[in-house]
Amino acid sequence: MINFNYEIDFNLEEEEVVSKWIIDAISNEGFKLEEINYVFCDDEYLHKLNVEFLDHDTLTDVISFDYSVGKIVQGDIFISVERVIDNAKDFEVEFDSELKRVMVHGVLHYCGYKDKTESDASLMREKEEYYLNLIK
């Protein structure tokens, strides 16, 4: 099950389409979905989580808390809509595309992908692009 929660005045378009896309991505990676909670929020909300739980005093676009066990995916993915808007402008991409990128980014972490090294980040970006092309 995928749940969408809104801490700000924002609503994801086509929740059912996006849910199916995320579920298909998880399945394609050889995992099974238990539950993911997406929480759409603002910079202030996400910054507080970043400081409190990760000891990072910076703004970020997405934080994922992974509660997966083995191949069963479950977790909470917090997304700052403000950061996504700014990043879309910076990267010169559509907001919808950047939003879906961070949505699948969190899921890919649950599937074992990392992004701390250059090679890991490159593979993560390839996977993001692959899945983005499936929903466009």
- For 96, the domain range is 2-135
Rounded (10°) angle between helices 15-28 and 118-135: 130
Q: Can you give the pLDDT at residue 37?
A: 98
How many structural domains is the chain composed of? 1
What are 84-122's pLDDT values in tens digits?
999 999 999 999 999 999 999 999 999 999 988 999 999
* 120 annotated to a ligand binding site: no
Query: Could you tell me the two tokens for 60?
Result: 């970020």
Name the nearest CA neighbour of 84 among 102, 66, 108. 102
- CATH number of the domain to which 6 belongs: 3.40.390.30
* 47 annotated to a ligand binding site: no
* 136 pLDDT tier (thresholds 50, 70, 90): low
% the chain with pLDDT above 70 = 99
Mean pLDDT of 16-23: 96
* 56 annotated to a ligand binding site: no
